């Protein structure tokens, strides 16, 4: 095959991967993403009291240069507060906020993630074993168990990882309804309340006693702050534990199968063996698991030259800020790190779990690459909080 033919084949494979991935947007929230597509040609667009921020500068300004009401209706913080009550990062200020951030930094820093790593690697080894025998695997189911088991270990919970994942996904789905435009759905608030109660019952369950086998390694007896991460402050408080479970589980369940589908369709598996870190960063940039951030301005300001008034609703489009809509993943020529990082936010409220998400997905891609899996079938999850697959069935390609 000549260089030109190889380039043409690579282009066709990338186009196939993008067509498949676009389905998670078109089938889950078609009206919303059609609106974003129409307005993305301008860095910032105002529609009444709503400001759509598409450019990189506008996205960063919206997170760092405008004072935000972090518990307002229709925002991530507002939904989290109704899910789990007070004590969240979203409604903290000053010393309280800094203390919680330090606890999270301890738990989700390099040492904490290293301690958690055996938890998800065991899940990968066990759940991907059928590929070696010619069997099929649903990567959404694998991702849910992986994420749920890891979250249970992080929070030192003696619960089944799959049960925790199901509860966190249901709570996120119910909460996400408040972010989206449209008429109120009958029974939606009641459904959200029931989902929150189910999740809260799990994250406030008693910790395992000494010698009890839990879902994670290095259990410590009777101490509600005990965690395999070695964090100095407890992460098991009611609100924070629920928030962490929702964020960690839903991000991984959305991102991992989409990343694997891109690798299979675009022929990227070789990079998982030679440069998994760069491949993972590029795939997270392109899949942008949380494609937009709903916020509300608490005071006037400006984003990329557009005046913002207090009370304005801000839609910060991470997907467009990182060029996910027009630049394919390319480990040979990746986007700058400061651009790729934006999928996890910016400034003092950037996602503290970025390191954990990257390491989980990188390990999953390395484990999958040995089998060069191909996608057998894919079904969009039309109800999930984040764009993703309801099932993604793969089989070894070699």
CA-CA-CA-CA torsion for 148, 385, 175, 226, nearest 10 degrees? 20
Helix (H, G, I), strand (E, B) or coil at 6: helix
- Write down the pTM of the prediction: 0.88
214-233: average pLDDT:
42
178-184: average pLDDT:
55
The pLDDT, as a whole number, for residue 105 is 74
CA 245 from chain centre, in angstroms, equals 11
* Pairing mode of beta strands 292-296, 306-308: unpaired
Q: Which residue has the higher pLDDT, 49 or 2?
A: 49
Q: Please provide the DSSP assignment of 257-302 as one string.
A: HHHHHHHHHHT-HHHHHH-HHHHHHHHHHHH-SS-EEEEEBSS-EE
Task: Tell me: pLDDT of 314 over 80.
Answer: yes
Task: Tell me: pLDDT of 213 over 60.
Answer: no
User: Is the Cβ–Cβ distance between 128 and 109 less than 8 Å?
Assistant: no
Token reading at 91: 């409604």
What are 241-265's pLDDT values in tens digits? 888 999 999 999 999 999 999 999 9
The Cα angle at residue 346 between residues 271 and 333, in degrees rounded to 5: 25
Task: Tell me: pLDDT of 369 over 60.
Answer: yes
Q: Which long-range contacts (CB under 8 A, 24 or more apart) does 119-127 make?
A: 119/149, 119/150, 119/153, 119/215, 119/216, 119/217, 119/228, 120/146, 120/149, 120/150, 120/360, 120/363, 120/364, 121/363, 121/367, 123/149, 123/161, 124/363, 124/364, 124/367, 125/367
What are 43-94's pLDDT values in tens digits? 999 999 999 999 999 999 999 999 998 777 666 666 655 555 544 444 445 4
Q: What is the DSSP letter of 348?
A: G
The pLDDT, as a whole number, for residue 349 is 74
Distance CA 58, CA 68 (A): 14
Average pLDDT over all residues of the chain: 85
Place of tokens 């059928």: 130
Per-domain boundaries in the chain: 3-395
The pLDDT, as a whole number, for residue 193 is 84
3-395 under CATH 1.10.630.10, yes or no? yes
Distance CA 214, CA 149 (A): 10
CA atoms within 13 A on the CB side of 279: 26
| pLDDT band at residue 29 using 50, 70 and 90 as cut-offs | confident
Rounded to whole angstroms, what are the CA distances from 118 to 191, 360, 362, 372, 381?
Answer: 35, 11, 14, 23, 29
The pLDDT, as a whole number, for residue 232 is 41
Distance CA 69, CA 121 (A): 39
The pLDDT, as a whole number, for residue 224 is 35
Task: Tell me: pLDDT of 103 over 90.
Answer: no
Q: Which residue has the higher pLDDT, 273 or 94?
A: 273
**Nearest C-alpha neighbor of 260 from the set 372, 146, 125:** 372
The pLDDT, as a whole number, for residue 175 is 78
What are 137-150's pLDDT values in tens digits? 999 999 999 999 99
């Amino acid at each position: 095959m000549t260089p030109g033919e190889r380039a043409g084949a690579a282009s066709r494979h990338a186009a196939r991967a993008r067509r498949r991935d676009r389905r998670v947007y078109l089938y889950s929230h078609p009206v919303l993403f059609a609106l974003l597509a129409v307005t993305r040609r301008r860095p910032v667009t105002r529609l009444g009291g709503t400001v759509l921020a598409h450019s990189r500068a506008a996205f960063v300004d919206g997170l760092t240069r405008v004072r935000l009401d972090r518990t307002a209706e229709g925002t991530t913080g507002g939904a989290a507060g109704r899910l789990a009550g007070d004590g969240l990062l979203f409604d903290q200020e000053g010393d309280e906020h800094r203390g919680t951030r330090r606890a999270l930094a301890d738990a989700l820093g390099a040492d904490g993630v290293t301690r958690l790593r055996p938890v998800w690697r065991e899940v990968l080894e066990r759940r991907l074993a059928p590929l070696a025998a010619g069997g099929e695997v649903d990567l959404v189911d694998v991702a849910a168990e992986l994420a749920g088991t890891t979250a249970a270990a992080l929070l030192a919970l003696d619960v089944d990882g799959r049960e925790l994942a199901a509860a966190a996904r249901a709570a996120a789905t119910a909460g996400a309804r408040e972010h989206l435009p449209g008429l109120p759905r009958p029974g939606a608030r009641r459904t959200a309340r029931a989902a929150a109660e189910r999740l809260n019952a799990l994250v406030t369950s008693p910790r395992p006693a000494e010698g009890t086998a839990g879902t994670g390694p290095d259990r410590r007896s009777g101490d509600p702050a005990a965690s395999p991460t070695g964090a100095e402050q407890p992460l098991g408080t009611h609100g924070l534990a629920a928030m962490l479970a929702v964020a960690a589980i839903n991000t991984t369940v959305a991102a991992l199968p989409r990343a694997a589908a891109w690798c299979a369709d675009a022929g990227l598996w070789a990079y998982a063996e030679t440069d998994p870190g760069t491949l993972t960063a590029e795939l997270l940039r392109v899949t942008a698991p949380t494609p937009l951030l709903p916020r509300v301005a608490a005071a006037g300001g400006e984003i990329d030259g557009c005046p913002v008034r207090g009370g304005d609703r801000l839609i910060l489009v991470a997907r467009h800020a990182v060029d996910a809509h027009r630049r394919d993943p390319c480990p040979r020529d990746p986007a700058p790190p400061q651009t790729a990082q934006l999928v996890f936010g910016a400034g003092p409220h950037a996602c503290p779990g970025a390191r954990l998400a990257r390491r989980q997905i990188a390990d999953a891609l390395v484990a999958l690459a040995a089998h060069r899996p191909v996608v057998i079938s894919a079904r969009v999850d039309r109800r999930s909080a984040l764009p993703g697959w309801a099932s993604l069935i793969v089989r070894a390609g070699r």
